[in-house]
Structures are given as structure tokens and as C-alpha cells.
Amino acid sequence: MSGWSTLQLTEFFSAITRAGTIVTAARLAVQRATESTDAEVAAVVCGDDVPASVGLGRTPSKSLFTSLDPGTDTATFPSVGPMHVSVHTLDRDTTDRLIVARADEPFAAEERQMLQGMARVLGLALRGLRTLEAERELRLEREREAVARLELLQALERRERLLETLLRVQRSANQRTPLAEVLDMITAAASGLLDGVPVALVLRDAVASVSSGCCDTDALIDAARRAIAGGGPVDCGRLTAAPVHIDGDVAGALVITAPSAAAGVRESEGRDVLAAFAEQASLALTGAHTLAAVHEARHDPLTGLPNRALFLQRVEEGLDAAPAPGTAGLLYLDLDLFKQVNDTLGHAAGDELLRAVAGRLRAAVRDTDMASRLGGDEFAVLLEPLHHRGQAREIAQRVIDSIALPYDIAGRTIHTRASVGIAYSGGRSAERLLEEADLAMYRAKRTSKGTFREFEPDMRPELPQAV
């Protein structure tokens, strides 16, 4: 369930997109910011001007607000006395900011994050409105060329599209869409707005979501690390990264490839989109509460191994990246005697055995391979890269030998063994590859438990209907 802050932000989105002038948008922002945080005072500062303020009467001195810079956390206002303050810049290129002040208690991390989101949306709205006002003047003056006018309109259209997209993602986040889907939506939407450049979300040194398009994972992670270390947006070759927060702590980064000049997207717009979507990702992640939720969404809670969904996604990506036949392989493992352990020693012992098997499996495969628990007592391993079939057989045997060593569980010595099926890549989907490895495993289990078999096309009809 989403927190109250994301809901407030959604309402804010809806309201601000209806504002027709800069003053109206600023007025809406100060109203909504105070109402949603039970604050008494708020102002929007643009340069030396204060287009809207609330809480200190109709014409408070502008310097009361223009003197407050980002990082200020308390301020004293005439008659009202000392207040807790939260200051949020509207965009990277200016010092324009949203200031909110409250008497009773400091702003919590979630509230500051929400206010930052509001500030960011206001910044985008103000830019759009300024562009619109510029366009109006342009029409009156009739001095510029038609090309420039068209460019402005296009920029405006893109801003409107950005706001609409943010709103759409925000609504999905509120409608209890699974986190993984929301994250995918964020990278896909950001990519869509930037004419399809690759966009990736990196969390704790792993790519959690990537838009369609080919990316160099190491370069992405490197760019993300720099953004995390720097605490702000960084340019890193053709990549630009902005940190993503969970409950106010840096947890990762959103990374985009610099749009090419030919794509017609200006560099500053790329940065705006990055900043807006990094806020969006932070809110979605904070809504999901903890990093554990991120991990759990794609990992088996018992063994910590990637779950079926993540495994299939990785296999699909691997197959896309290296489509040549035989360059990747897949092992499908099924434990013999697992049911007996569960039935005689209980589920706790069964769980412990599964954890131990997972540990041995992880140790028996190479660093570049990926082990996964598909469910029950079934595991799978993606073997990549693969230079020849002998390599796969060697790893399969190593896995079988390792799993067959005795286990010490609940004061008892327990034996189990794995039957393994092997399938090789080549013009087939991840699902199909997994099915072939499963058929091969079934053949091994039927003919000689505790061995491996490689998939052959004639194994297909043998799948019994009831299994």
C-alpha cells in the first residue's frame, strides 16, 4: 500500500497540470504544500521574486523568503517565532525554490521527499508556462522565424508529455502495482520521452530495471557508483546518472545514455527527465518501504537465490545479447529424496536442506553463471559464457558431486542427490530452453537418478500429461 505522501503528490500533479499561469501554479504549490504537511507557511522563490506565499499575510517582506537557501532547516518569522523549514530547489539550473515552514515538528524524510517531488513538478510546470508565455510574446512580436517557434512548441509538447507520463506512473504506483512493474514502467517511460535512449535503474550494484535497448552493465554500475558517491547527478562519458533515495538514504541511481543530437532532444531536457524520474523512482521505492522489498520482489526468500521471474528475464537478456547457438547453457536440477526428508524430519529440516543445497550450488558454478530456485526442490543454472559442451557437462557433474556429499541437519546425517538436465541456446526462447532442460532432467531421473542428461529432440513426447 502506498503511503499518504505519494497520494498527496498525485493530487498535486492533477492540480498543477491545470494551472494556466506562473502565479496560479505557484499559488497552488504553496497551498498544497502547506495543506498536505499541516504546515503554516510556504513560498515559491524565483530569483529575487516571490510569485506566491501563504501564511504570513498578504504582503510579507520578500527577503523573509529570499534569504532562505537550500539546507536551511529552521527560521524565525516575525510574530510567528521559530519554525522548522524545508527548502527544495525547483530544478538544477536555477536557484528557484519551494519553501515550507511548520511550527510543531521537523519535516520527516518522507515529507521532504514528497515536497522535493512537488518542487520538481512545479519546476517543470513553470518552465512549460514560461515557454508558453514566451510563445505568446513571440506571436505578438512576429520577429522570430517559424522554425524557432516550432521548436518552442515542440519543447512545450514534450514538457506536457513529461508531466502526463509522470502522472500516469504515479497513478500506477498508487494502484498497488507490483514494485518491479512500477520500476520497469519508470525506465520505459523515461526512455520513451527521450526518443528511446536506454535508461536503467541501478540498485545496490545491480541493474534492477532497464528499458529496451542494449546497455553495457559495467558502465551503468560505474556511473551509478559515481552518482551515489557524489550525492548528486554526474556525467560519466555518454552516461548521466542521478541518485535514487529510499527513506532519504541513497540506494542507487537512475542512469540514461546521453541522447544523440540527431534525436532532437536537448541536453537540458535529458537532465530534467532524469531528475524527475529519479524522484519518481525514489518515491516508488520509499513507498515499498525497504531495500528488502526490492530484493524480495525478485528473489526467493528461503535461499536468497533469484526467483523464476528474474531468472527467466536474465536468460532472455543473455539470449538476446549472445544469439549464436551453444554460447549459453541451462541446467535444470531436481532433488531426489527431498520429499522423504520433508515427511520424516519436518518442513524446518526440509527448508534447511534447501538452503544448504542452494549454498553448494552457488559454490559449484562459476562467477559468471547464475543459479536460481524455481520453486519446491527445483533449481536452475544459467551457464554463460559457454565455449563448448564439455564445459557444461563438467559443471553439471561438479554440481551433482557437490550436492551428493552428506548434510548435517537437525543432528542427523542426510543424503540427497540431484538429477540434472542440460539444454543449449540457439534460436529458442528462455521458456522453451527451460522446458528442454526440464525434459532432459526428467529423462535422467527416470533412467539413472543422480546423473545428468543432455536434451535431444526425441525426448519431447516423453513428457507425461500428469506431471
Q: Which residues have a catalytic role annotated?
A: 377
Please identify, using beta-carbon distances, which residue of 248 and 426 lies nearer to other proteins.
248
Q: What are 456-465's contacts with CB under 8 Å, separation 24+?
A: 463/439
Indicate which single residue of 41, 357, 358, 444 sits in contact with other proteins (rule: CB under 8 A). 41
113: contact with other proteins by CB under 8 A:
no
Kindly state the smallest distance separating residue 201's Cβ from other proteins, in Å.
23
Kindly state the smallest distance separating residue 71's Cβ from other proteins, in Å.
23
251: contact with other proteins by CB under 8 A:
no
**Buried/exposed 121-143: b ≥16 CB within 10 Å, e otherwise:** bbbbbbbbbebbeeeeebeeeee
**Buried/exposed 58-91: b ≥16 CB within 10 Å, e otherwise:** eebeeebbbebeeeeeebebeeeeebbbbbbbbb
Indicate which single residue of 66, 131, 174, 372 sits in contact with other proteins (rule: CB under 8 A). 174
CB neighbours (10 Å) of residue 308?
Answer: 16
Kindly state the smallest distance separating residue 62's Cβ from other proteins, in Å.
15
Kindly state the smallest distance separating residue 39's Cβ from other proteins, in Å.
9
Cell of 290: 525497504
Kindly state the smallest distance separating residue 56's Cβ from other proteins, in Å.
5
- Segment contacting other proteins by CB under 8 A, of 33-41, 213-221, 281-289, 326-334: 33-41
- Segment contacting other proteins by CB under 8 A, of 6-14, 90-98, 264-272, 300-308: 6-14
Tell me the residue length of the chain: 467
Indicate which single residue of 79, 141, 387, 467 sits in contact with other proteins (rule: CB under 8 A). 79
- Segment contacting other proteins by CB under 8 A, of 66-74, 76-84, 373-381, 441-449: 76-84
253 and 275 Cβ atoms separated by less than 8 Å: no
35: contact with other proteins by CB under 8 A:
yes
Report phi then psi at 205, rounded to 5.
70, 20
307 and 216 Cβ atoms separated by less than 8 Å: no
The CA dihedral of 31, 32, 34, 35, to the nearest 10 degrees, is: 110
Instruction: Transcribe 324-342 into DSSP letters.
Output: STTS-EEEEEEEESHHHHH
Residue ranges that bind other proteins, judged by CB under 8 A? 1-2, 4, 7-8, 10-11, 13-15, 31, 35-38, 40-41, 54-58, 77, 79-80, 103-104, 111, 170-171, 174-176
